[in-house]
Amino acid sequence: MKAQAPASSRISAGAMWLASVMDPPSIILTAWADNPDHLAEVPLGVRFDVLRAIDSLGMRALDELANTPVSLGPVLYCQPRQTVEFLVPAGTAEEWEDLRGTVCVGRGGALLCPAPGATGRGRTWLYPPHGDGVLTDPGLLRDHLRRAYERRTP
């Protein structure tokens, strides 16, 4: 019988990056080590905000962004809300212009998410965090979301 690796060795750099905004990070890291599908409430406005777009707009924008040379940050699909959730730099929510089909949530909000690479209660990472701190550029995202909205089927 093969010995199981200690829980700490199974934690990804992306999970550590997400958990680093929590006090203490060990609580969520331990929960994810025991059950990657566990949903953590990661506070927003510390390192990142979350831009939520209805799934039809968000998926169109994501498809376009994925075909550009820009780096995408973490992206979470939330089936219960039917949204695509892009992690964007902290402070974006304060400057986000009203764009139909989107909302940007920052300080005071939380991202409910499973461990990177896992799925929990209808929430799955389309682009999990890798721990490098890369976030999606909000201006570029806004442009792609606006175009997706303009091209939507009535």
Percentages helix, strand, coil for the chain (3-state, rounded to 5) are: 30, 25, 45
pTM: 0.90
Given a cut of 80, whether residue 1 has pLDDT beyond it is: no
Look at the alpha carbons of 77, 83, 85, 86 in this order and tell me if their dihedral is positive or negative: positive
Span 75-127, pLDDT tens digits: 999 999 999 999 999 999 999 998 999 999 999 999 999 999 999 999 999 99
Collapsing DSSP to helix, strand or coil, 48 comes out as strand
Beta pairing class for 119-120 and 110-113: unpaired
